[in-house]
A and B are shown apart, each in its own frame.
Chain A
Amino acid sequence: GAVVSQHPSRVICKSGTSVKIECRSLDFQATTMFWYRQFPKQSLMLMATSNEGSKATYEQGVEKDKFLINHASLTLSTLTVTSAHPEDSSFYICSAGYNEQFFGPGTRLTVL
Chain B
Amino acid sequence: EDKVVQSPLSLVVHEGDTVTLNCSYEVTNFRSLLWYKQEKKAPTFLFMLTSSGIEKKSGRLSSILDKKELFSILNITATQTGDSAVYLCAVELQGAQKLVFGQGTRLTINP
Residues of A whose CB lies within 8 Å of any CB of B are 1, 32, 34, 36, 41-46, 49, 93, 95, 99-106
Contacts and interface: CB of A to CB of B under 8 A. Distances in A.
Given A49-B98, A100-B48, A43 B42 contact: no
Contacts of B36: 103
Contact of B45 (A41, A44, A100, A105): A100
Given A32-B97, A34-B98, A49-B96, A43 B103 contact: yes
Contacts of B68: none
A42 B45 contact: no
A45 B99 CA distance: 9
A44 B90 CA distance: 10
B42 A46 contact: no
14 contacts: A1-B45, A41-B106, A43-B88, A43-B102, A43-B103, A44-B99, A46-B101, A99-B48, A101-B45, A103-B42, A105-B41, A105-B42, A106-B41, A106-B42
Nearest to A48: B98
A46 B41 CA distance: 17
B60 to A, nearest CB: 21
Nearest to B43: A103
A46 B88 CA distance: 14
A59 to B, nearest CB: 9
B93 to A, nearest CB: 10
Nearest to A49: B98
A32 B48 CA distance: 20
B45 A43 contact: no
Given A103-B43, A106-B42, A43 B99 contact: no
Interface string B34-63: 101000011111001000000000000000
B47 to A, nearest CB: 11
Nearest to B99: A101
A43 B98 contact: no
Contacts of A101: 34, 45, 92, 97, 99
B19 interface: no
Given A44-B99, A100-B45, A105-B42, 5 more contacts: A36-B101, A44-B101, A49-B97, A99-B48, A104-B42
